[in-house]
Structure 1
Amino acid sequence: MPTFQHSNILTIKLGAQDCFWEKKGAYTGEISPTMLKDLGCQYVLLGHSERKRLGETDEIINKKLKAALSAKLNPIFCLGETEKERDEGEIQNILKSQLEKGLNKISKKEIKNIVIAYEPVWAIGTGNPCHPSEAKKVLLFLRKFFKKNLILYGGSVNSKNATPYIKEAKFQGLLIGGASLNAKEFIKIVKNLST
């Protein structure tokens, strides 16, 4: 981290995959948002479905969002529905509920610093991404609440399907999971989006 922390050469912005909701203290295995800020992080991923699978609730996510904002970090707030919820036509209701609980008692001014990431749970790590036209419907729904916030798509993104999420569905970025573990695949995604 120190290599990047003081470098003026790269325009890389650092982020973390999670943080705790307390500013400081003895919380073994956790990292506070203040520590992340001290390390040079500007972003922190919160509410990812893999964390929810470990028992993280919307109320815990709310605490983490507040703590991250208090430390002047930009949270990347993940939202998404399960396959069952999608099949039952509940996407908008589920997302609205996650937004209401996650953003509870967070001011409009603070909300402007949050990046939204739509990640359909059923698409993560499955190799079965949401079709860009379906993802665009969700993006349009989210735009009703977030006129200016960055909104990203995540869920089985790879070099073959990344471009339509940006160029057709009009997401402003991607939350790349498994494909980022393979350097060649990740570079392909970046190159495809650069042309």
Structure 2
Amino acid sequence: MKPLIVANWKMNPVTMKKAEELFNSVKHGVKDIENAETVICPPFIYLPLLKGLILGAQDCYWEEKGAYTGEVSVAMLKEMGCKYVIIGHSERRKIFNETNENVNKKLKAVLETGLIPIMCIGETEGEREMDKTEEVLEKEIKQGLNGVDVSKIIIAYEPIWAIGTGNPCDIEEAQRMKEIIQKMVSKDIRILYGGSVKANNAEGYLKQAGFNGLLVGGASLDAKEFVEIVNNS
């Protein structure tokens, strides 16, 4: 199976013009690359504008419709052409107080609608220093995946202390964490790595640590850098 390279644009770019320029640059850059599956997860409002690459969403709500001001349902995302949905990103958990219970509801909604969820898990620097990494991951996995068919999901391991810091997880340590997650869930589960992924370390996470793909944040906003990451996969 091809590695899955997912671009999480977060709340960027600021204008539609820049979003289209970035998307088109990436689309042109990866058009001849057949060794990886490239997915772009832009802000919701840009989804209808972007054609020619696989699309994903950065979040969703578990109800199909109703009086939920500001929310977007999975059915709406499917209508806009999304194939993947990121669930439980650490920024959602920290800034918007998203709980494991919320993550579980969203996972089930995504699966029921026929899309593919990418569930994010990871520990903070403080939790790692207190040797609680495995405890944190186990809790996020058990509660997040309660009643969920794990064969249909993807997990993204994103050590929170590595996200946007320029301080990526050591390749050997990342591999160890991947193996721990496999023991907790299934040896066949697809696992992505995220956290300060760059063109110069992407290959190590895929070919040395054995991850099934990458969740790329800041580097995905630089078309040249992101295309190089895809190419190195």
Give your verdict on TM over 0.5. Answer: yes
Once the two structures are overlaid, the 10-residue window that deviates more, 141-150 or 163-172, is 141-150
Aligned-pair distance for 1:105? 2.3
Residue aligned with 2:59, SS: coil
Distance in 1 of aligned mates of 2:128 and 2:48: 43
2:135 corresponds to: 93
For 2:48 and 2:169, the matched residues in 1 are separated by 38
1:72-118 Cα shifts (integer Å, max 9, x gaps): 11100000000011111111111000011101222xxx221100100
Q: 1:151 aligns with which of 172, 191, 195?
A: 191
Once the 2 structures are TM-superposed, how far is the Cα of residue 4 of structure 1 from its aligned partner? Answer: 6.2
1:115 matched to 2:154? The reply is: yes
The alpha carbon displacement at 1:143 in A equals 1.4
2:141 is the alignment partner of 1:141? no
Q: Partners in 2 of 1:178 and 1:159 — Cα distance?
A: 12
Superposed CA RMSD in Å reads 1.4
Q: With a CA cutoff of 8 Å and minimum separation of 6, indicate the structure with the bigger relative contact order.
A: 2
State the 4+ residue runs in structure 1 displaced beyond 4 angstroms: 1-5
**Unpaired runs of at least 5, structure 2:** 1-46
CA distance in 2 between partners of 1:122 and 1:2 (Å): 33
**Aligned-pair distance for 1:66?**
1.2
In the alignment, the residues of structure 1 paired with residue 206 and residue 178 of structure 2 have an alpha-carbon distance, to the nearest angstrom, of 11
Partner residue in 1 for 2:40: none
Indicate which of 168, 175, 178 corresponds to 1:129. 168
For 1:136 and 1:68, how far apart are their aligned partners in 2? Answer: 28
Q: Aligned residue for 2:205? A: 165
Structure 1 counterpart of 2:43? none
Write the letter of the residue equivalent to 1:20: Y
The equivalent residue for 1:189 is: 229
Residue 192 (structure 1) shift: 2.3
3-state DSSP of counterpart to 1:105: coil
| Deviation of the 1:137 alpha carbon | 0.3
5+ long unaligned stretches in structure 1: none
1:75 — aligned with what?
117
* Counterpart residue identity of residue 226, structure 2: F
Which of 40, 43, 51 aligns to 2:84? It is: 43
What is the rounded CA distance, in whole Å, between the counterparts of 1:4 and 1:189 in structure 2?
21
Task: Find the aligned partners of 1:179 and 1:2 in 2 and give their Cα distance.
Answer: 23
